[in-house]
Structure 1
Amino acid sequence: MHAAVVRSFECPPRFEEFPVPEPGAGRLPVEMIAAGLHPRVRSGADGTHYTSDGRLPLIPGVDGVGRLPDGQVVYFVADDEDPGTMAERTVLDPRRAVPLPDGADPVTVAAAMNPAMSSWVALRRRITFRAGGSILVLGATGNAGRMAVQVARHLGADRVVAAGRDPERLELLGGLGATDVVSLAGDQDEAYARLGEAAADVDVVIDYTWGAPTERALPALLTRRTDRSASLDWIQIGSMAGPEITLPSAVLRAANLRFMGSGQGSVTARGIVAELPSLMTELTRGTLTADAQPVPLADVEKAWTAPAEPGRRLVFTTSPG
């Protein structure tokens, strides 16, 4: 078969011949149809993801849409121990797979499930979020942040504050459910003062940035909260701006702040998979939308390093026989 193959963490994957994986116990063979190029996939391919074990060569891809031997088309999340999904064939654990509803577009599903899953699982599994609450999406201009705005509104948030730096992408978020949009570009003192004014009293922060933006956002919000004893759940999901922050101890004493992460490990695989059918339903209904750009898997090396269009997610496609 052919696959996207990573032989060095310093280079993008190349389209090469690779041995067809043999399904072991509890696995089924699957012919791939579509697999999304998510940030999680990129970090796995360059060896920087926290689950990376450093082994090469590897096939990237953490999820996708494929066809089972009986003809059923499914979306599935790959197990860490199984080959990646950016290949003509791979294997899957049927416990991590859900059928695509009739009429569902495989490319859209492959593009949207992973970025939507981060906020969907966070709000349904990591905290008890009640309709009528308010949410700040920090890093809302990425694909996952864009989906988080939609997910928050769908799950009943009365206010969704979307914050980010990209003006083109920020402009789109009002039409997707954001009630307030805050630019973090320009003078940083002014930017985070705007953020504090808009989001001081939110109930939840979904944080895709970490690093310097989080360091600035914390005091901007906490010093302006009307009631500092009101709980604030800060859910760390991504680290687009850096893997670490400096956290003054006074921040933890000065407000009712609860930090947590949401991702592999903090939520069980079973818990994540349990959320897939309901999320799939909303994507199929069009409640949540994504802009997918299909690219033949044979073009993986070129597409991997090409500039991405705002709001679009690349999806590598194959033609299963």
Structure 2
Amino acid sequence: MYAAVVRSFDTPPRFEEFPTPRPSAADEVLVDVLAVGLHPRVRSAADGTHYTSDGALPMIPGIDGVGRTPRGELLYFVADDGALGTMAEQAVVDRRRAITLPEGTDPVAVAAAMNPGMSSWVALRRRAAFRAGGSVLVLGATGNAGLLAVQIARHLGASRVVGAGRDPRRLGLLGGLGADAVVSLDGEAQDVSEHLGRAAGDVDVVIDYLWGGPTELAMPALLRARADRAKSLKWVQVGSMAGREITLPSFVLRAADLTVMGSGQGSVTAAGILAELPSLAGEIVSGSLAVDPLPLPLSQVEKAWTTSTAPGSRIVLTP
């Protein structure tokens, strides 16, 4: 088969022949891959920087996808840990890590949205135990996952959604996606801190895609602005686009009811994630969530790696 193959962490994958994988267990099936999203998580695996990377090469990138079984069943699937990636003409799928999609589903839309949507969907439902009527701050709302997080928070019943980020073009999109307020993180620290406090001081949950400096600024700003510091604030760390570490002053843990947690591989079981996928897929299929995929042939994977996209768009490779 042909696949995107990484032979060096310093260069993009190349389209070349690779041995076709074979099922080796009763729950496995070989599918024809129809669409695979080029997610940030895929890029970090392909350059060896993701925290799960073991440094082994060659590798096929790709962590999920949409494929069709020999019997014609349409599946969305998540690659098994340690298995070959999904950016290939064929992939072995563990049926325990897959869900069936209805006929007529656009595989490109599902491949584009499931992974970025999953980050906030699982964080809110499985980690924060979010309930309708609560309020949410999306820190890093101008990334693709953040744009979906704003929509998902609103869809799950948030009474108020605040989006914070740097990109002014993408900040301008948030109101139409369900944000009640937006905060630019591009400015003097004191001004940003004050704006965050006014807009989001009393939120119940923070979905944090940034970490690093923005979180160091935002965390005390929100706590200082809370009318009732004993009101629970759940801070769910999902990404680290602005930095892998923060300096956390001890007072923020004593001065408020703050719970800091992560959401990702390891903090949520594979079974727990899989249980959430049908509901999320249903929202994507129904058109409830705005999705803007940019499909490119798998044969153009090297070009795809350096192709810029419009705000809210995600590249999807189609074998």
Separation (CA, whole Å) in 1 of partners of 2:258 and 2:284: 32
- Worse-superposed segment, 188-197 or 223-232: 188-197
The CA deviation at 1:188 is: 2.7
> TM-score of the superposition, structure 1-length normalised?
0.97
Q: Mind listing any 5+ residue stretches in structure 2 that lack a counterpart?
A: none
SS at match of 2:7: coil
The CA deviation at 1:99 is: 1.4
Q: How does 1:235-254 map to 2 (within 5 A)?
A: 235-254=236-255
**What's the counterpart of residue 213 of structure 2?**
212
**What's the counterpart of residue 179 of structure 1?**
180
Separation (CA, whole Å) in 2 of partners of 1:72 and 1:130: 34
Q: Tell me, yes or no, if the aligned pair for 2:37 and 2:315 is still in contact at 8 Å.
A: yes
| Alignment of 1:232 onto 2:233 | yes
Separation (CA, whole Å) in 1 of partners of 2:103 and 2:262: 34
**What's the counterpart of residue 3 of structure 1?**
3
Letter in 1 for 2:281: M
Separation (CA, whole Å) in 2 of partners of 1:48 and 1:169: 26
Q: Tell me, yes or no, if the aligned pair for 1:77 and 1:96 is still in contact at 8 Å.
A: yes
Separation (CA, whole Å) in 2 of partners of 1:163 and 1:294: 28
Separation (CA, whole Å) in 1 of partners of 2:272 and 2:167: 33
**What's the counterpart of residue 108 of structure 2?**
107
Q: How does 1:252-263 map to 2 (within 5 A)?
A: 252-263=253-264
The runs of at least 4 aligned residues of structure 1 exceeding 4 Å deviation read: none
| Alignment of 1:23 onto 2:5 | no
The CA deviation at 1:128 is: 1.9
The CA deviation at 1:192 is: 2.3
Separation (CA, whole Å) in 2 of partners of 1:108 and 1:263: 22
Letter in 2 for 1:242: G
The CA deviation at 1:90 is: 1.1
Letter in 2 for 1:269: A
Letter in 2 for 1:19: P
Deviations 1:101-143 (A, max 9, x none): 2321100000000011111111111122111110000000001
Separation (CA, whole Å) in 2 of partners of 1:23 and 1:260: 36
SS at match of 1:124: helix
Q: How does 1:1-321 map to 2 (within 5 A)?
A: 1-25=1-25, 26-318=27-319
Aligned length: 318
Letter in 2 for 1:230: K
SS at match of 2:60: coil
Separation (CA, whole Å) in 1 of partners of 2:35 and 2:189: 40
Separation (CA, whole Å) in 2 of partners of 1:120 and 1:205: 13
Separation (CA, whole Å) in 1 of partners of 2:157 and 2:209: 21
Q: Tell me, yes or no, if the aligned pair for 1:82 and 1:92 is still in contact at 8 Å.
A: no
Q: Tell me, yes or no, if the aligned pair for 1:33 and 1:67 is still in contact at 8 Å.
A: yes
Separation (CA, whole Å) in 1 of partners of 2:90 and 2:187: 47
The CA deviation at 1:183 is: 1.0
SS at match of 1:223: helix
Q: Mind listing any 5+ residue stretches in structure 1 that lack a counterpart?
A: none
Deviations 1:252-276 (A, max 9, x none): 1111100000011100000100111
Separation (CA, whole Å) in 2 of partners of 1:192 and 1:88: 48
The CA deviation at 1:100 is: 1.4
Letter in 1 for 2:127: R
